[in-house]
Structure 1
Amino acid sequence: MDKGTLPLKNLLFLLLVSFSLFAQPKREFRGVWIANVGNVDWPSTKGLSAARQQQELIDLLDMIQRRGLNAVFFQIRNACDAVYESKLEPWSEWLTGQQGQSPGYDPLAFMIQECRKRNLEIHAWMNPYRAVTDIRTASLASNHVAKVRPDVLLSYGPLRILDPGRPEVRSFVTRVVMDVVRRYDVDGIHFDDYFYPYPQTGITLNDNATFAEHNRGFTNRADWRRDNVNLLIEAVADSLRRVKPWVKFGVSPFGIWKNRSSSAEGSNSRGFEAYSGNFADARKWIQEGWVDYIAPQVYWSMGNGSANYTHLVPWWSENVSEQHLYIGHGVYKVNSDANWRRPMEVSNQIRYNRTFANVHGSILFSAKTLRNNPNQLCDILCQEVYQSPALVPAMPWKSTTPPPVPTDLETELNDNNTITLTWSYPYTLTSERDKARYFVVYRSINKASIDLRTGLSIRAIVVNEAGKNTFTFNDTQVSPGTKYNYTISAFNRLHNESKPTDVVSISTTQRAVEVVEEAPKPILPLASQLLAPITPHEEPTEAVAAAEEEKEEAEPEIAEIPTTDSEELLEVFPNPFNQQIDIRYRLTEATEVSLYVYDSHGTRVGALVVNKPQEVGTYSVKFNGQFLSEGAYYARLMAGPVQKTVKMVLKR
């Protein structure tokens, strides 16, 4: 093949992701890791007061909620220690600065409470084997395993790990996991990629004695080591399903299982292999059904020459069929090299994921990077791929039983022209698996039907508070003289959805229209309101709403781009359009350009170009309205200080 020619599948992908609006999936896993080891994400430093630590967690979770994510992976055990009240292991040093010292509260219990308020899944993230990161500098509590049972540890340079080959180690780790599961209402148990140590030059792992005593008939030590890890994964999976079958179990292994050079079943990559390097056979865990999800750490860019993102994701997709596959993204690498300096790198990775039916979502490492927003990472994610809220995908192998349908849905128009919804949920359910955890409010406008298949119809997520039978939601994002249609469904902790209620409609009153130039930014309610209307869109503008009135049309007020000839600076064709429309614009001077698409209520449904420097010339962008309802839409071009808007009509 000509080196200058792109492979067909890559070319098709580029055509897909360049400018088309991708469908916003109704269900998509959107997680983020929160690490405490080394104070990476939280707490910001050792020794903070309990109140300060709690406030930092609240701030992190508020940020995560605003960014449109729906799950957190909270590190609670990194080196045989605990970020929760435990009788088995000492308090983590990363809380107070002294291992074994209580921080004055239970961080895991606090985290669960705060995640419930925001309707975020919480997965308890544990490292199964690491015991002491650096024995030379460690100050260990008297009840740490390295003090109590040094005989069950292996040395690897300054690192100490629990010996995976010893039966009592497997029993102990499983006991620690189940102690957490029995006492805390976590949604999942999560292991990371640290099993046997990552190899280092000049260091040998000496497990000769264990191999001699506990080889179970194995003669090949590598196979034996892999089986040691397999036995732990199987034991944890079996224990979880016996005690709390709704708790999910997953692992985030290194992103390469095997290279194709090592095995015909491996991936098209050249890099460290988890299979032979730290003896993690993730493919077997998937095949055996021991894990509910696998989250490989595909921490490479789409331009990487040795481990290319677009080579590894297809491999994982082909090897995961029944369980969930979440791709781990190394967002901490943003700005680390030329590939990671591309503003759209992470958004394009997520778009690429969506082209694979077996990829159910993403997990980002880590929360600190989201908070710091390097290279406008989070802003672009919200504009490009997380415009609409997403619900966690259901796991039908755990349960398909839906909760009962909410009842008595009513709407009321308030004096300030907002709409209040009320509904009842009078059921008393004893099964933790089947209880309603939250409600989803769906909305459509005027004659449009409510599409329950995508996230675009989701108006709000309302948390089910214990002891309440009646719930309300106040919809303030409404326009005058408009008909709104609502329906509500309930979801249980495994995200099985009830049937929706009957649709209830209500119209707001018409009032004088004040034309505004730019829609205001949304202010999202935080957890104290027990609502999560995660719609990172522009607020409706009365000018755009008024444009849909049959008797009088008014285009949004805009500043025209100066022109030197009669050629239009912003054109669309064909117009009306059936599914796809070409948007063409011309620049008379080099400037920074943004191009967005809004529906008739001012909600942004497409971010086609975002703050991109462009030279003088004519540009063509394709907008795909496949998953949108019929009606009027508006393309808005912002080129430097001037703007141009054109109306487009979608007809089926």
Structure 2
Amino acid sequence: MTYRAGRKWRPAAIGRIAAAALLLILAGAVVPTPAAGAGAGIKDLAACSTAPATPKRQLRAMWIASVANIDWPSKAGLGVSAQQAEFRSWLDLAAQKNMNAVVVQIRPTADAFWPSPYEPWSQWLTGTQGTNPGYDPLAFMVSEAHARNIEFHAWFNPYRIANHDDATRLVAGHPARQNPGWRFAYGGKLYYNPGIPAVRDFIEDAIMDAVTRYDLDGVHLDDYFYPYPVSGQTIPDASAYAQYGAGFGNVHDWRRNNVNLLVKELDQLIHTARSWVSFGVSPFGIWRNAATDPLGSRTSGMQSYDAVYADTRLWAKQGWIDYIAPQIYWHIGYSVADYAVLTAWWSSVVKDTDVQLLIGQAAYRAGAAGEDPAWQQPGELTDHLYGNRQHPEIVGDIFFSAKDVRANRIDGISRLVTDHYSRPALIPVRGTAAAPTSPSITSAARVSNGISLSWQRDGSSSPTSYAVYRVDGFPAMDPCFFADARNLLKTTRGTSFTDTTATATGTYTYYLTALDRAQRESGPSTGRVVTGTGPFSVVVDNGDAGFTAGSNWGTSSFSSQLHGTDYRFADPVTASDLAWFRAEIPATGSYRVEVWYPANSGYNSATPFIVATGGGNQVVNVDQRVNGGQWRGLGTFTLSAGTRNVVGVSRWTSTSGYVIADAVRITKL
């Protein structure tokens, strides 16, 4: 194999509503919003009061480690269905905790969790390196994550080849066996030599293969660059230094430059190929100590700048990464590396840059046997996030690792979720381009398990996902509804959502916004109100099983005022040919009957609606040229108990224009 093939990703480096709100006039109507066209996002919210416990934007993620089967798969050699079921359970856990991203290790030891043309299948899948697992795990994982609107960040370990130092144990076609000069053994493990340019090119090619073939949201490197120091051993790269180290005064500066080049070049390659993909690094939590370097932190631990040659401060200052997630795996008050000291220091590093700051959190230490007493306190992790609120530069957290989030020892994760993740959150914005066009809610109706919302995807602005907001009652529209997440119900990549938390008697106003791949948010839709039902209310849409119509009734989704996904239409004739809405009436009594239809000047001005009352059919003619896209009352009628056709739409009218059947709502008084 020619590892330089396919370097087409290497072009030149690239650089990186407030208005008067209208009061609701009647239940079931819309709540107008300020005009918000293409690119008009939610803004002007500085004057709004927000709650720190419900931030609107915050990245919340957990690492899912595959090396040594730490998290997934739980053991090598599981069947396809078992592997997939396990991964779905991790995503379900993340969704349950109101997390919005996962960071999944797909290249743990110079191998692959996808059919890579560069590297063998990972041994952590099947137990044998190079053995096909029978499906494409990366395609599966990305699809499942996106189905839950959870971002998928692909985690790559750049240099580690194996957790042993015997190259003959690698599969025969492994690039590290075919190119023995690319590798070295150190500390009982095998590594690619970061100082060899061909190695760097190869690693970049292997990573970019995944970036260009899969719908990734992020590329993530961990803290393993040059190997962590092993007492009494020296990294065996003297010959590479002699060959490639010209211009450097010592091997240490040369090594740092080798890692710098990898990070800088990956940044360029990723954003040239996929501008929306976020590139981040999660380094060891200490760059340098202040005693060594006045720019360093007030700590006294190992320094990643010197130990593993990771100049992470430089990467942030130069903007070579989109985010940095230092692993601050120490408790508040720890004398060697105080969590509070380090969050303040890293905040100062990213301040006035475009680099976002996440914090790597040690979920694995909370309540674990043998840990420092501070980690036996249920409030340690939640206190970390309380401390984060002092630093606006911190926009989220990543927890190591998934199995520790699930274990929830000493109730530490539950405490954290209650205190900080009680509501969903949007991913922090990346970039400054225009936001998508405001969407429209096409249907909002009560169903058996809550309130069902539907909308249509706007192809002109190509949104990736949507955010659903709910406000109690029907107050005048206020931009501050969207200032934090207190009203945020759900984010989804679909075009429908059922609010199962809505009560039967509650009245609610729903809003919808659209988000693109960079998480830029549109202005809100027009509000849609769903009124309280009292003891009984039912909506029957033309798409429901309770609707019947003859073959002369056509189907259309032409009008944006439709209820649900479509509506039915027919020409007027001198015959009834009724379209019927069937419902179960729980008890004989008085009921309010309302109809929904899209209006159009070409529709019928006297469409006959038939209400089958206890005393016989009553006809109400409706002008369907006007007042569409909302519930319109036909009146109050006495209906008899039972399941039957209750409301019909007749074609028998002498006026011209289509008659429309879309939806009815029946409410007991």
Shared fold per TM-score greater than 0.5: yes
Contact in 2 for aligned 1:303/1:339 (Cα 8 Å): no
Structure 2 distance, partners of 1:106, 1:439, is 28
Q: Is structure 2 residue 463 aligned with structure 1 residue 457?
A: no
Structure 1 distance, partners of 2:451, 2:61, is 32
Kindly state the Cα deviation for residue 406 of structure 1 after the two structures are TM-superposed: 1.1
1:503 aligned partner: 527
Q: Is structure 2 residue 437 aligned with structure 1 residue 404?
A: yes
2:572 aligned partner: none
Kindly state the Cα deviation for residue 403 of structure 1 after the two structures are TM-superposed: 1.6
| Structure 2 counterpart of 1:127, from 157, 163, 167 | 157
Kindly state the Cα deviation for residue 264 of structure 1 after the two structures are TM-superposed: 0.8
1:242 aligned partner: 272
**For residue 110 of structure 1, what is the amino acid of its counterpart?**
F
Kindly state the Cα deviation for residue 428 of structure 1 after the two structures are TM-superposed: 4.9
Task: Return closer, same or farther for 1:426/1:314 CA change in 2, 3 Å cut-off.
Answer: closer
**For residue 170 of structure 2, what is the amino acid of its counterpart?**
L
- Encode CA deviations 1:110-144: one digit per residue, 9 max, x unaligned: 10010011111111100111112212497211121
**For residue 493 of structure 1, what is the amino acid of its counterpart?**
R
| Structure 1 counterpart of 2:508, from 458, 467, 484 | 484
Q: Normalised by the size of structure 2, how large is the TM-score?
A: 0.69
Q: Is structure 2 residue 50 aligned with structure 1 residue 23?
A: no
2:67 aligned partner: 37
Structure 2 distance, partners of 1:417, 1:327, is 39
Greater CA drift, 443-452 or 104-113: 443-452
| Structure 1 counterpart of 2:407, from 372, 381, 393 | 372
Q: Is structure 2 residue 391 aligned with structure 1 residue 341?
A: no
Q: Is structure 2 residue 390 aligned with structure 1 residue 358?
A: no
1:437 aligned partner: 464
Q: Is structure 2 residue 496 aligned with structure 1 residue 472?
A: yes
| Structure 2 counterpart of 1:51, from 62, 78, 81 | 81
1:542 aligned partner: none
1:395 aligned partner: 430
1:308 aligned partner: 338
Q: Is structure 2 residue 225 aligned with structure 1 residue 195?
A: yes
Secondary structure class of the residue paired with 1:333: coil
**For residue 378 of structure 1, what is the amino acid of its counterpart?**
I
1:530 aligned partner: none
Rg larger for: 2
Kindly state the Cα deviation for residue 477 of structure 1 after the two structures are TM-superposed: 1.9
1:597 aligned partner: none
Secondary structure class of the residue paired with 1:455: coil
When the two chains are superposed, the root-mean-square deviation of aligned CA atoms in Å is 1.8
Kindly state the Cα deviation for residue 400 of structure 1 after the two structures are TM-superposed: 2.3
Q: Is structure 2 residue 320 aligned with structure 1 residue 290?
A: yes
Structure 1 distance, partners of 2:64, 2:277, is 19
* Larger RCO (CA under 8 A, 6+ residues apart): 2
Kindly state the Cα deviation for residue 479 of structure 1 after the two structures are TM-superposed: 2.8
Structure 1 distance, partners of 2:65, 2:314, is 27
Structure 2 distance, partners of 1:370, 1:151, is 41
Secondary structure class of the residue paired with 1:234: helix
- Encode CA deviations 1:369-408: one digit per residue, 9 max, x unaligned: 0111111122212211111111100112xx4221222125
Structure 1 distance, partners of 2:134, 2:422, is 39
2:113 aligned partner: 83
Contact in 2 for aligned 1:190/1:249 (Cα 8 Å): yes
Structure 1 distance, partners of 2:145, 2:453, is 24
**For residue 237 of structure 1, what is the amino acid of its counterpart?**
D
1:630 aligned partner: none
Q: Normalised by the size of structure 1, how large is the TM-score?
A: 0.71
1:432 aligned partner: none
**For residue 393 of structure 2, what is the amino acid of its counterpart?**
N
Matched ranges for 1:139-218 at <5 A: 139-218=169-248
> For structure 2, which runs of at least 5 residues remain unmatched after alignment?
1-49, 537-669
Task: Return closer, same or farther for 1:313/1:333 CA change in 2, 3 Å cut-off.
Answer: same
Contact in 2 for aligned 1:191/1:252 (Cα 8 Å): yes
Contact in 1 for aligned 2:381/2:413 (Cα 8 Å): no
1:12 aligned partner: none
2:419 aligned partner: 384
Aligned residue pairs, count: 479
Kindly state the Cα deviation for residue 146 of structure 1 after the two structures are TM-superposed: 2.4
**For residue 526 of structure 2, what is the amino acid of its counterpart?**
D
Structure 1 distance, partners of 2:506, 2:441, is 23
Q: Is structure 2 residue 251 aligned with structure 1 residue 232?
A: no
**For residue 354 of structure 1, what is the amino acid of its counterpart?**
R
- Encode CA deviations 1:456-504: one digit per residue, 9 max, x unaligned: 101222323xxxxxx3322232234432111101111111111111122
Greater CA drift, 448-457 or 435-444: 448-457
| Structure 2 counterpart of 1:115, from 145, 155, 167 | 145
**For residue 484 of structure 1, what is the amino acid of its counterpart?**
Y
| Structure 2 counterpart of 1:427, from 459, 479, 485 | 459
2:643 aligned partner: none
Structure 2 distance, partners of 1:413, 1:63, is 28
Task: Return closer, same or farther for 1:195/1:463 CA change in 2, 3 Å cut-off.
Answer: same
Structure 2 distance, partners of 1:142, 1:480, is 65
Structure 2 distance, partners of 1:213, 1:418, is 69
2:96 aligned partner: 66
Secondary structure class of the residue paired with 1:146: helix
Matched ranges for 1:533-572 at <5 A: none
Q: Is structure 2 residue 344 aligned with structure 1 residue 325?
A: no
Secondary structure class of the residue paired with 1:85: coil
Contact in 2 for aligned 1:131/1:145 (Cα 8 Å): no
Kindly state the Cα deviation for residue 240 of structure 1 after the two structures are TM-superposed: 1.1
Structure 1 distance, partners of 2:511, 2:344, is 37
**For residue 438 of structure 1, what is the amino acid of its counterpart?**
S
- Encode CA deviations 1:166-200: one digit per residue, 9 max, x unaligned: 11111111111111111111111111011111111
Kindly state the Cα deviation for residue 436 of structure 1 after the two structures are TM-superposed: 1.3
Contact in 2 for aligned 1:73/1:125 (Cα 8 Å): yes
Contact in 1 for aligned 2:428/2:519 (Cα 8 Å): yes
Contact in 2 for aligned 1:417/1:508 (Cα 8 Å): no
Greater CA drift, 20-29 or 294-303: 20-29
**For residue 126 of structure 1, what is the amino acid of its counterpart?**
F
Identical positions, percent: 39
Secondary structure class of the residue paired with 2:287: coil
Structure 2 distance, partners of 1:256, 1:28, is 23
Structure 2 distance, partners of 1:85, 1:211, is 34
Structure 2 distance, partners of 1:418, 1:369, is 34
